[in-house]
């Protein structure tokens, strides 16, 4: 069912991506995709970077220091490789997302019937990248627009490890100050987001709850909640030494 859903999105994704792919300067590659057990397992991160470079992109691993000129994380795309379960066939799909976590492009399914894992993953990935090569990427020099209006959302009850926070009014997230040195960027994950700084370094991990404005959060091995409050700002709340601590977090989703 998952693969059928992805395939139905291919045509729309190709059209949207073809119109904007040239506006992105580079692609960020995670060291470990969701289905992998270790960093760069089957050399998939390395192979992703090699293929992206062949396509004409500048490509960086998520733990690399970005060079001068990358002042906004929205100038780049974020690659994901998705594995689809299949009997005797290795199937991989290449997907690109923007800095807001929106899917910009989904490739066709790359396949391999090789039995040796490393060969099979390499063949399936290269097969999936055929659609990316077909887009004939070339950076236009015109960066994508990075502004987005935040839709109002209702707050409800959220429970952290040790506290419950309740709210009922409609709250809209305020636009973050992009010049703030403490600004964090939200990078989508399967379970929510990871917040990264300009290094880029993972500073905080967020896990979705039933409420769009409340996340279970971990920061420096401290567990709490990231909550959108009535002032339109995000706060990380946790208990430290039996005392509730609230820290304002400047984040761009």
CATH code of the domain covering residue 120:
3.40.50
Structural domain includes residue 138: no
Same domain, 122 and 172: no
Same domain, 102 and 222: no
Same domain, 61 and 106: yes
Same domain, 111 and 179: no
Tokens of 134: 């077909």
pTM for the model stands at: 0.55
Question: Nearest Cα to 95, choosing from 145, 28, 31, 46?
Answer: 28
Structural domain includes residue 143: no
Same domain, 126 and 10: yes
Structural domain includes residue 129: yes
- Measure the CA angle with vertex 45, ends 37 and 83; round to 5°: 55
Q: Select from 133, 162, 185 the last residue of a domain.
A: 133
Q: Select from 98, 133, 168 the last residue of a domain.
A: 133
Same domain, 120 and 64: yes
Total domain count, the chain? 2
User: Mind listing the pLDDT tens digit of every residue in the chain (253 residues)?
Assistant: 444 434 444 434 443 443 477 888 899 999 999 999 999 999 999 999 999 999 999 999 988 888 887 777 778 899 999 998 778 899 999 999 887 777 888 899 999 999 999 999 999 999 999 999 998 998 888 766 554 433 333 323 333 333 333 333 346 677 888 888 889 988 988 888 999 988 878 899 998 887 788 888 889 888 889 999 888 899 998 888 778 889 999 998 8
Q: How far is residue 73's CA from residue 101's CA, in Å, rounded to a whole number?
A: 12
Q: Whose structure tokens read 């004409």? A: 56
Write out the residue range of the structural domain in which residue 204 sits: 153-252
């Amino acid at each position: 069912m998952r693969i059928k859903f992805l395939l139905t999105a291919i045509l729309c994704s190709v059209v949207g991506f073809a119109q904007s792919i040239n506006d992105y300067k580079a692609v960020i590659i995670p060291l470990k995709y969701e289905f992998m057990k270790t960093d760069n397992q089957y050399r998939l991160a390395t192979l992703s970077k090699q293929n992206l470079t062949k396509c004409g992109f500048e490509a960086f691993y998520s733990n690399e220091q970005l060079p001068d000129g990358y002042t906004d994380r929205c100038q780049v795309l974020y690659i994901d490789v998705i594995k689809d379960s299949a009997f005797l066939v290795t199937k991989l799909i290449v997907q690109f997302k923007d800095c807001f976590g929106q899917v910009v492009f989904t490739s066709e399914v790359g396949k391999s019937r090789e039995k040796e894992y490393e060969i099979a993953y390499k063949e399936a990935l290269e097969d999936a990248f055929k659609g990316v090569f077909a887009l004939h990427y070339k950076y236009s020099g015109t960066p994508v627009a990075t502004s987005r209006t935040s839709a109002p959302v209702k707050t409800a009850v959220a429970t952290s490890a040790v506290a419950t926070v309740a709210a009922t009014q409609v709250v809209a997230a305020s636009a973050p100050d992009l010049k703030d040195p403490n600004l964090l960027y939200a990078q989508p994950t399967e379970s929510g987001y990871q917040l990264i700084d300009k290094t880029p370094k993972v500073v905080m991990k967020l896990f979705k709850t039933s409420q769009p404005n409340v996340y279970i959060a971990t920061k420096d091995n401290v567990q709490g909640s990231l909550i959108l409050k009535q002032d339109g700002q995000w706060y990380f709340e946790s208990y430290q030494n039996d005392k509730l601590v609230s820290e304002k977090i400047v984040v761009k989703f």
